[in-house]
Amino acid sequence: MRRFLADPLTRLKLVLGAMALGVLILGLAAYGVLPGPNGPGAGRVAAMAGKLATGAGDESVGGGTVLGPDTIADIVTRTSGAVVKIETVVQGQGENPFANDPLFRQFFGNEFPFGPQTRVQRGIGSGFIVSPDGYILTNDHVVEGASSVMVTVVGRPKAYQAQVVEQNYNLDLALVKIDAGGDLPTLVLGDSDRARVGEWVIAIGNPYGLDHTVTVGVLSAKARPVTVGNREYSNLLQTDASINPGNSGGPLLNLAGKVIGINTAVSTNAQGIGFAIPASTVKPVLGNWVNHKPAAYLGVSVGAVPAALAGNLGLGDGQGAYVATVLAGSAAQKAGLKPGDVIASFNGQPVNGPDDLVAKIQGTSPGAVVPLVVLRNGTSLRLSAVLGSK
């Protein structure tokens, strides 16, 4: 070894090789492949990861946005004040538990002295403030049948009695109003149509009464048809952000802090699968509700397009709305709609399921003349309807 290193040419080659290796390492660190001594490589890697994480979702979220260690916390700090807890009381009549007891029947006979009992059921859900004067958006099933609705706002010492202003069973949406004696923080609806599968999302709500729980995940899928109880949803967002009972009505936020969905359901057959009503369904309805405009009316009952029919028509998942019935004398009948038709476009916009069609109708003013694209027996028809008032 000594004899090898004693050769001047060999030593020069070793020195130059070491220098070249050092330059290569520094170059890799500067480019981000290896971490540099002060973190320049780590910064480049973080920036690249941030671009992949944020994508190009809402208009305020660009591909250059970096998802840093404080990004989620900052969004939660900025938005959580507009998320509220909703507590309800539903009263109903139930059979007396002793009515069928043989001992009581033997004693009292058919003249049983205790009638049906009044049963009180308490519920809990979430919502978020959409206007400074106290309008709050939530799910219809959160406040359905409630005799009392109480809303708790962050930082306020007492809960407020709320009035249910509007409800829509088919869309599972409701608007309630509180008087807080001053302006309240609000959330803004984002563009759920531009949201991409794989984007980060944040859910805030009150699962099992645990106030302002924050969960994070990604947008797992769009346009999911889901049946929960007696409700059929045709166009839901799917997420793996944890959603549990009590989250219903709360916001699903993007990294711009805008609401792209209203959390509404959880899969009982699997873990890590939750669903939200897309903001695109909510926007037109909410605008009319807040401005106290009457709802427009087409006069059809619609459902999801049967799979076989959708395949024959070349429709993708969630596209179009199948006309089940047409009411006599309605705007739909006057326009020429028939049972079995598929409404593919309403007022120049594609129809993404029956929920989307209902939202589009209710977001239009009564009396408006709207063009329709209808698929019938494999043929595309262009009709025109003058919407009625409901």
Q: Identify the active-site residue in 141, 220, 341, 356.
A: 141
Tell me if 40 is assigned to some domain. yes
Residue 66 has pLDDT above 90, yes or no: no
Average pLDDT over residues 284-306: 86
- Check if 248 is active-site: yes
C-alpha distances (whole Å) from 257 to each of 71, 96, 261, 278, 283 are 10, 50, 12, 15, 16
Q: Which of 313, 342, 380, 75 is nearest to 216 (CA)?
A: 75
User: For residues 218 and 205, is the Cβ–Cβ distance under 8 A?
Assistant: no
Identify whether residues 286 and 300 lie together within a single domain.
Answer: no
- Confidence band of 383 (pLDDT split at 50, 70, 90): very high
- Check if 172 is active-site: yes
Which residues are within 8 A (CB) of 131 and not within 5 positions of it... i.e. 6 or more apart? 186, 290
Looking at residue 4, its pLDDT comes to 45
Q: Tell me the residue length of the chain.
A: 390
Tell me if 375 is assigned to some domain. yes
Instruction: Give the pTM.
Output: 0.70
Identify whether residues 136 and 249 lie together within a single domain.
Answer: yes
Tell me if 146 is assigned to some domain. yes
Last residue of a domain, one of 250, 277, 292: 292
Looking at residue 290, its pLDDT comes to 83
CA separation for the pair 39, 21 (Å, rounded): 20
Identify whether residues 301 and 349 lie together within a single domain.
Answer: yes
Helix (H, G, I), strand (E, B) or coil at 51: helix
Q: In one letter, which amino acid is 315?
A: L
CA separation for the pair 195, 192 (Å, rounded): 5
Q: Whole-number mean pLDDT of the chain?
A: 81
Identify whether residues 324 and 277 lie together within a single domain.
Answer: no
Task: Give 227-270 pLDDT, tens digit per residue.
Answer: 887 888 888 999 999 888 899 999 999 999 999 999 998 776 76
Identify whether residues 77 and 209 lie together within a single domain.
Answer: yes
Looking at residue 81, its pLDDT comes to 96
Q: Identify the active-site residue in 220, 234, 242, 248.
A: 248
Task: Give 344-373 pLDDT, tens digit per residue.
Answer: 999 999 998 888 898 899 888 899 999 999
Range of the domain at 42: 2-60
Last residue of a domain, one of 41, 60, 79: 60
CATH of the domain at 183: 2.40.10.120
Task: Give 148-169 pLDDT, tens digit per residue.
Answer: 999 999 999 899 999 999 999 8
Identify whether residues 183 and 242 lie together within a single domain.
Answer: yes
For the chain, give the percent of residues with pLDDT over 70.
75
Q: Which two tokens stand for residue 86?
A: 């909703």
- Check if 355 is active-site: no
